[in-house]
Amino acid sequence: MRWLLSLSLALGCAGCFGSSDADISGIEVALVAGSSIGHSASMTAAAMNAPVACVNVTQPCSATFPCSGVASVTLGDACPLPLGGVGSGQVAVSGSWAATDMATLGMMLGIGVSDGSVSVSEAIGVKVTTSMGHETVAYAGQDVTVNGGAALGQSSWTVDVDGKGTAGDPSDDVYTINGASQGAAAGSGAQVTQVSLTTVVLDPSCRKNPISGMGVIQQVGSASLGEVVAKFHAACDGKVDIAGALGGTHAQNLVLFH
């Protein structure tokens, strides 16, 4: 897969902070997937119980269970993307509800931001559970389609969405992403590549970058170990701190959309 090839190339320059940045595309793809899927899934789940800005429910599912529901999300000022800010376009969402607080969704995403289209185009088997004002969105990377050939590989991800007590207003939601992927790298050497996100927080105070948490890209072979560590910071500058192999950090731009 392309992400595995990209990560293999990236790990060769981890900690080499001259004129070259580390390739953290695996982390960037995971961030875009988590924020995009979490955004539409959490809003749709909430909209089946009460009106939510930007969500149009065309087939309700909130009284007798199990049942099927259908909705569309039209992005705008009232429901900015967790990363990228105000977007445009629509997301078609359908799914089945086992109970008012438990759903399995599929979605087709055709949304954009000012500098290009969001990478995720489709996701299936997205699980959403609701409890105490939070929605937990869980999905497997192999069930997500990303534009341009990138992929999340064999993986498991969760996005906790804190509605801040305003279920109808998604603009103040806080997202926390956790998860990891693993796959065998192409070529000889029996290498395994891993990408993980740990407690990565997306806050409405900053839509350019996560404000805390970390991401790690690691490649393990029979005779080698390479690692890229990305630490997210509170400054809202669209950057992330990359830890050097010999100490210190290097700030580089996040490339979240293409």
pLDDT digits (tens, 9 = 90+) for 51-99: 999 999 999 997 899 999 999 999 989 999 999 888 788 999 999 999 9
- Find the angle CA(188)-CA(194)-CA(197) to the nearest 5 degrees: 165
Return the pLDDT at 7.
36
Question: What is the model's pLDDT at position 67?
Answer: 95
pLDDT at 1: 39
pLDDT at 2: 37
What pTM was estimated for this model as a whole? 0.86
DSSP per residue over 166-232, as a string?
Answer: -TT-GGG-EEEEEEEEEEEPSSSS--EEEEEEEEEEE-TT-SSS-SEEEEEEEEE-SS-EEEEEEE-
Residue 36's nearest CA partner among 95, 143, 130, 110 is 110
The string of DSSP letters for the chain reads: -HHHHHHHHHHTTTT--SS-----HHHHHHHHHHHHHHHHHHHHHHHTTS--TTEEEEE--SSSSSEEEEEEEE-STTS-BTTTBS-EEEEEEEEEEEETTEEEEEEEEEEEETTEE-SEEEEEEEEEEEETTEEEEEEEGGGEEEGGG----EEEEEEEEE-TT-TT-GGG-EEEEEEEEEEEPSSSS--EEEEEEEEEEE-TT-SSS-SEEEEEEEEE-SS-EEEEEEE--SS-SSEEEEEPTTS-EEEEE-----
pLDDT at position 154 is 80
Number of residues in the chain: 258
Taking 70 as the pLDDT cut, the residues of the chain under it are 1-20, 112-118, 148-151, 183-191, 221-225, 244-247, 257-258
User: What is the reported pLDDT for 204?
Assistant: 96
Q: What is the pLDDT of residue 223?
A: 57
Q: What is the pLDDT of residues 241-250, one digit of tens each?
A: 998 665 677 8
Q: Residue 64 is encoded by which pair of tokens? A: 């007798």
